[in-house]
Amino acid sequence: MATSNDNNNEDFTQIDCWYRIYKDGRVERFYDTLGVAYVPPSLEDPATGVSSKDVTISPHVSARLYLPKNTNNSTQKLPIIVYYHGGALVLGSAFFNTYHNYLNVLVSESNAIAISVEYRLAPEHDVTTIYEDSWTALQWVASHASEKKFTSDNEDQWIKNFGDFSRLSIIGDSAGGNIVYHMAMRAGREDGINEKVAINGSILVCPYFLVPIENIKESGAYKNWIIISSPSEAGLHSPLINPLAENAPSLSQLGCSRMLLCFTDKDVYISKEIGIRFVEGVKKSGWKGDLEFIVVEDEVHCFQLNNPNTEKSQDLIKRFASFIRLE
């Protein structure tokens, strides 16, 4: 894991083909190798007809918003998706091609508004900063539920005009699934996102959880966590990464009505065994919501992102869309 660069004699730590941290704190992310890159929003995606735009939420938080086709002259209220991208809490962007293409498909299929959140990353920022950024975005979305026509210059007319706040879902894959868990727990502690809005559904796709199972400390996911977490949280005892840790808050506090948990059986980063353990923990906690657990066979970690148009990806996206629409 730790190696030396012979060309410039700089010491660095490298995690798989994801990123490299130099001794001076500089982080080199291998986005070219991973095949991801920034793409701009689109007035109308040619494949789905979905429109998108970028907005600034706060000095540190931004988002890409998505609006499905045929809403210009409609008064129909649409479900709301708040989406958190993956990347081991250290990689990725809401503005990358992978997520832009995926959100276009998900928004089209679910006929929902989506807010894809751009949060700050570790290790330049503490992991708890990621959760604060994510909560800031969630509160900003919920602030649009005010009955007043417009209450601030920071409001967005897509959310204001079309958002159905009784059908608000938070969704995330990998690191984003970890964030979704923490947002649902915070909403439970604070009795909703604000006084008007609660989370209806949570979808966690291959969530970045680590629990004590066989060979867990050999995985890239564990090694990454040791590097990016603070010394006091660097281990499986941390409730930030292990929702079943002894000092973790009770899962009965989950602040959503429904939860859909999705794993794959060939995931080399987050084993489906972790999902099974989490489901057992939720059931034992006495949480009163509805929980659905699915395992997609013969697929790898977050497979639906790389090509959302394959048959299995389409089946999974349709399942998400039904959940989002409350069907």
- Would residue 87 count as lying in a domain? yes
Contact yes or no for 256/187 (Cβ under 8 A): yes
* Amino acid making up residue 127: V
The answer to whether 60 is a known catalytic residue is no
Sheet holding 78-84, edge to edge: 51-56, 62-67, 113-118, 78-84, 163-173, 199-205, 256-264, 290-296
Number of domains in the chain: 1
- What is the rounded distance in angstroms from the CA atom of residue 235 to the CA atom of residue 190? 27
- What is the rounded distance in angstroms from the CA atom of residue 147 to the CA atom of residue 169? 20
Give the mean model confidence (pLDDT) for residues 128-140.
Answer: 98
Q: Tell me the per-residue pLDDT of 146-169, one tens digit each, with 9 for 90 and over.
A: 876 655 678 999 999 999 999 999
Boundaries of domain holding 100 = 34-325
- Confidence band (pLDDT; 50, 70, 90) for 66? very high
The answer to whether 58 is a known catalytic residue is no
Q: How large is the greatest C-alpha to C-alpha distance in the chain, in angstroms?
A: 63
123: closest CA among 250, 204, 24, 248? 24
Percent over 70 (pLDDT), the chain: 94
227-266 burial code (b ≥16 CB/10 A, e <16): bbbeeebebbebebbbbbbeebeebeebbbebbbbbbbee
Mapped onto helix, strand or coil, the DSSP state of residue 212 is: coil
pLDDT of residue 171: 98
pLDDT for 187 beyond 80: yes
Q: Tell me the per-residue pLDDT of 9-25, one tens digit each, with 9 for 90 and over.
A: 468 899 988 999 999 99
pLDDT of residue 154: 83
pLDDT of residue 73: 63
pLDDT of residue 74: 67
Which position among 45, 133, 156, 267 bears the catalytic label? 267
- Confidence band (pLDDT; 50, 70, 90) for 1? very low
- Would residue 26 count as lying in a domain? no
How many other CB atoms sit within 10 Å of the CB of residue 147?
Answer: 6
Beta strands at 113-118 and 163-173: parallel, antiparallel or unpaired: unpaired
Contact yes or no for 194/143 (Cβ under 8 A): yes
Q: Mean of the per-residue pLDDT values for the chain?
A: 94
Give the mean model confidence (pLDDT) for residues 56-84.
Answer: 91
- Would residue 3 count as lying in a domain? no
- Would residue 173 count as lying in a domain? yes
pLDDT of residue 151: 55
- What is the rounded distance in angstroms from the CA atom of residue 65 to the CA atom of residue 55? 7
- Would residue 20 count as lying in a domain? no
190-200 burial code (b ≥16 CB/10 A, e <16): eeebbeebbbb
- Would residue 88 count as lying in a domain? yes
- Would residue 209 count as lying in a domain? yes
pLDDT of residue 173: 98
Which position among 174, 202, 271, 313 bears the catalytic label? 174
Token digits for 24? Answer: 């001076």
Which position among 182, 229, 301, 313 bears the catalytic label? 301
Contact yes or no for 99/92 (Cβ under 8 A): yes
The answer to whether 125 is a known catalytic residue is no
CA count, 13 A, side-chain hemisphere, 72 = 7
CATH number of the domain encompassing residue 46: 3.40.50.1820
- Would residue 95 count as lying in a domain? yes
Beta strands at 27-29 and 19-22: parallel, antiparallel or unpaired: antiparallel
